[in-house]
Structure 1
Amino acid sequence: MTDKGSTVVKGSTKLIVFDWDGTLSDSVSRIVSCIQLAAADHQMLAPTFDQAKDIIGLGLREAIGQLFPDAEEALVEEFSLSYSAHYRSQDSNPCDFFPNVLDTLQQLRDQDYLLAVATGKSRAGLDRVLGATGLAELFHGSRCADETASKPQPLMLEQLLQEFNLQPQQALMVGDTEFDMEMAVNAAMPRLGVSYGAHHANRLQRYQPIACIDHFAEIINLL
């Protein structure tokens, strides 16, 4: 674990907001594979693993725009449909969670923290995985890119704060990408990076998280 930038006052955190892919779910390889398959469907030069991994965390259309900046709107739409079809075809076998994620989330819930998800996934995609994993009842709220605005815009976090009638300093954003960290900065919210996801810890440190943890369970000792 490395630290320390933004701070939380012990006992002040009421709401913990988690990114999904690369933070809770070990889904980075699946996302990259589906991006590459969608590119092949449309005879486009497939991005490398690192190129595709780099845009994880953005909304799907924003991610496509970064990978293929010259793509016309119709192609972006077709690519989105192809990607979603490839991902849905694998949804019957949900990605594993990172070690200790489920136990730690339950421990946080038992300690009366409000838990929420802010993700670049679509609402349909998040609802599918919450249903498949049986975790829907664990979270008090969630926001997705297709119903608000893509990271790093702060709208997802702002709406969650409004829903629970909280101030930014009463919440903590936890994520694995600089998009998560920048979103939290834009919402004036403390943030915690995880080093095992899509972006290297050095990239997360630019946004002054309270720490950058190597193991999910370390969050317990920081609150």
Structure 2
Amino acid sequence: MAVKVAIFDWDGTLVDSVEHIADSLHQAATELGYPALERAAYRNIIGLGIEEALESLYPGITRADMQAMREGYGRYFFTKATTPREVFAGVTEMLADLRGAGLGRAVATGKSRRGLDKALVSSGLGVHFDITRCADETRSKPDPAMLGEILRFYRIEPDEAVMIGDTIYDMEMAQRIGMPAIGVEWGVHDQDTLAAFGPKAIVDSMADLRRALELL
């Protein structure tokens, strides 16, 4: 394996949380009197930072309403902890094997730091990662700022790492910094959508993801 670091998205890539996020966004918005949107609209913005997501869903939203919606989203989302049951099958074993092989492991996510820190503990996955970066401590995807910070942590170049994610925001972020990417089909965006940003591979199973990593 030529790459030295595997960088993972969180929601929809490692953890089966997409529907819970969509439900929480729906509840927070409608509670404030904003119109309910199609489920696909809520799913489509998963991966962005929360402010960027809300601005995309409800253009022109006021700062006051955005703050209220963020608080409402947090209340609904944190009623359900991310447990090992929500971790996709095969993820824990794959991360352990990468760790045993001496590969660096990182997370680049649109989640808040508060949300990710809770999920790292409650999911049991926290022990597998050297560094994690969140949208609220840098810039939201598809800006590659968080990837740049991870690369500096490891002191490597973009072509020595791979970004693994389920959305076009992951794929575009990697493309913009010159990093290879692998798209996974079990999250938000489908194969054709992911392919628009030229990932090295698009996989539909954990076994295929392992094989794709071995070929890099």
Q: Is the 8 A contact 1:23 1:176 kept in 2?
A: yes
Unpaired segments ≥5 residues, structure 1: 1-10
User: Which residue of 1 is the match for residue 155 of structure 2?
Assistant: 165
Counterpart of 1:129 (choices 119, 139, 160) is 119
| Relative contact order higher in (CA < 8 Å, ≥ 6 apart) | 1
User: Which residue of 1 is the match for residue 90 of structure 2?
Assistant: 100
User: Which residue of 2 is the match for residue 197 of structure 1?
Assistant: 187
Q: Is the 8 A contact 1:178 1:207 kept in 2?
A: yes
Q: Give CA deviations for 1:76-120 in whole Å, capped at 9, x if unaligned.
A: 111011101111111275661122111111111111110000000
**Do residues 47 (structure 1) and 73 (structure 2) align?**
no
In the alignment, the residues of structure 2 paired with residue 83 and residue 63 of structure 1 have an alpha-carbon distance, to the nearest angstrom, of 12
SS of residue matched to 1:220: helix
User: Which residue of 2 is the match for residue 7 of structure 1?
Assistant: none
**Do residues 91 (structure 1) and 92 (structure 2) align?**
no
Greater shift, 157-166 or 100-109, is seen at 100-109
In the alignment, the residues of structure 2 paired with residue 81 and residue 95 of structure 1 have an alpha-carbon distance, to the nearest angstrom, of 26
In the alignment, the residues of structure 1 paired with residue 71 and residue 199 of structure 2 have an alpha-carbon distance, to the nearest angstrom, of 35
In the alignment, the residues of structure 2 paired with residue 49 and residue 141 of structure 1 have an alpha-carbon distance, to the nearest angstrom, of 32
Equivalent residue letter for 2:20: R
**Do residues 212 (structure 1) and 202 (structure 2) align?**
yes
**How much has 1:142 moved relative to structure 2?**
0.6
Q: Is the 8 A contact 1:101 1:217 kept in 2?
A: no
**How much has 1:217 moved relative to structure 2?**
2.9
Identity of paired residues, percent? 38
Equivalent residue letter for 2:124: G
Unpaired segments ≥5 residues, structure 2: none
User: Which residue of 2 is the match for residue 79 of structure 1?
Assistant: 69
User: Would you say how many aligned residue pairs link Structure 1 and Structure 2?
Assistant: 213
Greater shift, 176-185 or 70-79, is seen at 70-79
Counterpart of 2:165 (choices 158, 175, 178) is 175
In the alignment, the residues of structure 1 paired with residue 168 and residue 45 of structure 2 have an alpha-carbon distance, to the nearest angstrom, of 10
User: Which residue of 2 is the match for residue 16 of structure 1?
Assistant: 6
Q: Give CA deviations for 1:30-88 in whole Å, capped at 9, x if unaligned.
A: 00000010012101102211110000000011000000002111111110111011111
In the alignment, the residues of structure 2 paired with residue 153 and residue 196 of structure 1 have an alpha-carbon distance, to the nearest angstrom, of 23
For the aligned residue pairs, the C-alpha RMSD in angstroms reads 1.2
SS of residue matched to 2:114: helix
User: Which residue of 2 is the match for residue 155 of structure 1?
Assistant: 145
- Could you tell me the TM-score, scaled by structure 2's length? 0.95
In the alignment, the residues of structure 2 paired with residue 152 and residue 92 of structure 1 have an alpha-carbon distance, to the nearest angstrom, of 25
In the alignment, the residues of structure 2 paired with residue 107 and residue 158 of structure 1 have an alpha-carbon distance, to the nearest angstrom, of 25
In the alignment, the residues of structure 1 paired with residue 149 and residue 82 of structure 2 have an alpha-carbon distance, to the nearest angstrom, of 31
Give the 4+ runs in structure 1 shifted more than 6 A: none
Counterpart of 1:184 (choices 144, 157, 174) is 174
In the alignment, the residues of structure 2 paired with residue 71 and residue 171 of structure 1 have an alpha-carbon distance, to the nearest angstrom, of 37
